[in-house]
Amino acid sequence: MLNVAYIFPGQGAQYVGMGEEVQRRYPPAKEVFERANNVLGFDLAGLIFKGPFEELSRTLNCQVAVFTVSVACLRAFQAQKPGINVRYTAGLSLGEYTALVAAEALDFEEALRLVRQRAQYMEEAAQQNPGGMISLIGLPLDTVKKICEEAKVEIANLNCPGQVVISGSLAALEKAKDLARACGARRVIPLKVSGAFHSSLMTKAAQKLAKVLEGVKIRPPRIPVISNVTAAEENSPEEIKGNLARQVASGTRWEDSINFISSCGIRNFIEIGPGKVLRGLLRKIDPQLKVYNIETVEDLESFK
């Protein structure tokens, strides 16, 4: 039997209409949207399916939207393709919550409430400490570290070889842009996010989330979940809670996470949820890895 890893996208993968076809065709997916509406107390499904995009992309809405669509696609896939031998699961930033649901460490409703609070705290921190994020393409990591030191910004995401996302205040990022170009960066891309996520400017959000997590019941995962913070398997509920809180204000290690899974003999990955961002990153991490996407009805029907 084929051994696979499930991987789940994070904030930024959203688009109006995501998941709509899938929930029309598959009752388990439709049920996820209905449960989300009940938990949140507003029509999240309507916002996802109809927009507007600006409101959907607000941190407060975007995180619950991407999480809900990812779980809906997961439930449809599990119903259609039972018996998949899932050896590991991981998610990029927000996607780690979907990974924990897939591993049965968190119930959907509990995870959704957590994601909503996480988004609220991150949005509040972004308003108190305005900042942003920039993707630097084509620079060695050592060079990026020197730029960060000089510009007073931080490494937020180690996504794949040659791509590092930095995070910081708006003024500091302007300086970092100039330094990166002077060092020969192929591309300097400002990200469409509302704050300096995965940096010390999110410390208050991380502290608030840690307090909430104290009262949350997390079970030992039935499938190993790879942490964004450690890029290693974490099975202890207390360690998982600590890492979820730390993740908000520290860098994510996606490249290391995928290399860890690959080193354990897994060469097949299934990206479940909106977009194909992770597929692109995995191609750059190791072109020999195979990635299958589960996002649309066509994906579900054609998967073998």
| Residues involved in catalysis | 93, 198
Question: Is the distance from CB of 14 to CB of 44 less than 8 angstroms?
Answer: no
Q: Going along 33-152, which residue ranges are E strands?
A: 85-91, 131-137
User: Using the 8-state DSSP alphabet, how is residue 265 labeled?
Assistant: T
CA 74 to CA 200: how far, in whole Å?
33
Q: Going along 83-199, which residue ranges are E strands?
A: 85-91, 131-137, 154-160, 163-169, 187-190
CA 227 to CA 114: how far, in whole Å?
17
**Torsions phi, psi of 225, nearest 5?**
-110, 130
Question: Is the distance from CB of 158 to CB of 257 less than 8 angstroms?
Answer: no
Tokens linked to 263? 């080193």
